[in-house]
Chains A and B, each alone.
Chain A
């Protein structure tokens, strides 16, 4: 059963994709979510409000997903946050870089509802948040 009190931050430069991810999370029982259109806005929100989970795209303006991941993992107050990358970047070197950078998971677009649900639940279980 999903921990419905968990708060998600969905980071993507495309509002369509943010809306899709938000709706899918809601269907999976996670209705607490906020959105950011790039890494800069995401960091501002993460530093000013409490979140439990970050779902982020990689290819974004101003600050991309890798840069956001690095910022989160180097911040004492944020580094505990699981970061799930949801991206069209399919190069193996990008997947390896994300894993080495501390990402909790990696989903390639286009993806299915089942994939997102499975990865989120797996990460929450590992983090003891499920």
Chain B
């Protein structure tokens, strides 16, 4: 059996020299990239995209917050509704037994009337809870619009970097273009955004949003000239005579 040979250990000074070399190379590459970006006029474009990254972070936080709140709201409502439903079932069974045992007494003692009143209240509350659960799904629309904007930013950044890569490729390096298939036109917003998410890397994003529209406000405090509630909308319209 052959004895394994371990690589010779670097002494401290040799390791320091290697580290220094790597550091210098990284510095040189960074300088070359910086100069290339400046000479090719990419610096400003990339900086513009990079400046939007904190906005993307805000938008992703907004999505996380909205989806989290919706999930929490729905689960709380379902918990409460299930307790109420259990009570309805047990009370109905009890009333049925009472009716079988002594129907005259059940009516005369007011048990039936009390039961009906309780059922009316409970079912009204459950109905309201179902409406609230439905309303909680509005996050889908709002987060969908925000996701489209983030995908668009990532796509722009990527296409700029790819363009830079192609322009700075060393002579003789022939970039192989990835096979691209035409993206089918999305029939609706959900499809468009799903396509955008899947397509991401191909440059053009199939975002249905018109760029001039800003979409949901993810940071009302930090965004000037936006309303943060329906009452502010109503006040603004009233000031215009509507």
Contacts and interface: CB of A to CB of B under 8 A. Distances in A.
Interface residues of B, number: 37
Interface residues of A, number: 37
B213 A59 contact: yes
B135 A61 contact: no
Given A59-B209, A60-B208, A112 B236 contact: no
A107 interface: yes
Nearest to B188: A37
B216 A88 contact: yes
A96 B138 CA distance: 24
Contacts of B186: 61
Interface stretch (B5-13, B92-100, B169-177, B221-229): B221-229
The residue among A14, A62, A89 with the most chain B CB atoms within 10 A of its own CB is: A14
Interface in A17-41: 17, 20, 23-24, 27, 37
Contacts of A53: none
Interface string A79-102: 000000000111111111001000
Chain A interface SS verdict (over half): mixed
B134 A23 contact: yes
A114 B190 CA distance: 27
B144 interface: yes
A16 B138 contact: yes
A90 B142 contact: no
Contact of A12 (B139, B141, B192, B229): B141
A59 B190 contact: no
A83 to B, nearest CB: 13
B227 A92 contact: yes
Contacts of B237: 95, 99, 105-106
24 contacts: A13-B192, A13-B208, A14-B140, A14-B141, A14-B144, A14-B190, A16-B140, A23-B134, A24-B131, A37-B187, A37-B189, A59-B145, A61-B208, A62-B208, A64-B213, A89-B213, A89-B214, A91-B225, A92-B226, A92-B227, A109-B142, A111-B138, A112-B135, A113-B131
Interface of A: 12-17, 20, 23-24, 27, 37, 58-62, 64, 88-96, 99, 105-113, 115
Interface of B: 131, 134-135, 137-142, 144-145, 186-190, 192, 208-210, 213-217, 220, 225-230, 233, 236-237, 240, 242
